[in-house]
């Protein structure tokens, strides 16, 4: 579970990050990130629409993404806002496939 300080909780912040951030598209998700003040904690937001699947599938994807985000926070605890939008293929993907795509996306935004 991500602590509240590391979650994007307002719709305005979520939309702002999606509009102004840099986009990294992958087969399973689209990650949009932007640098913020180095003093502010990194925050994560997740968008999983009904196109991904039923409620059980959507909640599974969100849990997996939160777990990956919490691991990412260990290396990048400050200075980023990130929104991850799940694509329909993510429902059929294993956790290993999701984490491989996640690692590629993180490498892209660290460059």
* pLDDT value of position 76: 78
Q: pLDDT (tens digit, 9 = 90+) per residue, 29-79? A: 999 999 888 888 999 999 999 999 999 999 999 999 999 999 998 887 888
Q: Which domains does the chain have, with CATH numbers?
A: 4-110 (3.30.230.10)
The residue-averaged pLDDT of 86-104 equals 95
Q: CB atoms < 10 A from the CB of 31, how many?
A: 23
Q: pLDDT (tens digit, 9 = 90+) per residue, 11-22? A: 999 999 999 999
pLDDT tier for residue 107 given thresholds of 50, 70 and 90: confident
Environment class of 82 (CB within 10 Å of its CB; exposed 0-12, middle 13-18, buried 19+): buried
User: Average pLDDT of the chain?
Assistant: 92
Above 90 in pLDDT, residue 7? yes
Q: Tokens 């599938």 — which residue?
A: 57
């Amino acid at each position: 579970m991500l602590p509240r300080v590391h979650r994007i909780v307002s719709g305005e912040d979520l939309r702002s990050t999606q509009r102004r951030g840099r986009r990294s598209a992958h087969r399973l998700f689209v990650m949009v990130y932007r640098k913020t003040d180095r003093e502010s904690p990194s925050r994560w937001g997740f968008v999983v629409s009904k196109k991904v699947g039923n409620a059980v599938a959507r909640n599974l994807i969100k849990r997996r993404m939160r777990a990956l985000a919490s691991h990412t926070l260990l290396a990048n605890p400050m200075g980023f806002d990130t929104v991850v939008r799940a694509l329909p293929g993510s429902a059929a993907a294993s956790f290993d496939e999701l984490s491989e795509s996640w690692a590629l996306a993180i490498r892209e935004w660290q460059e």
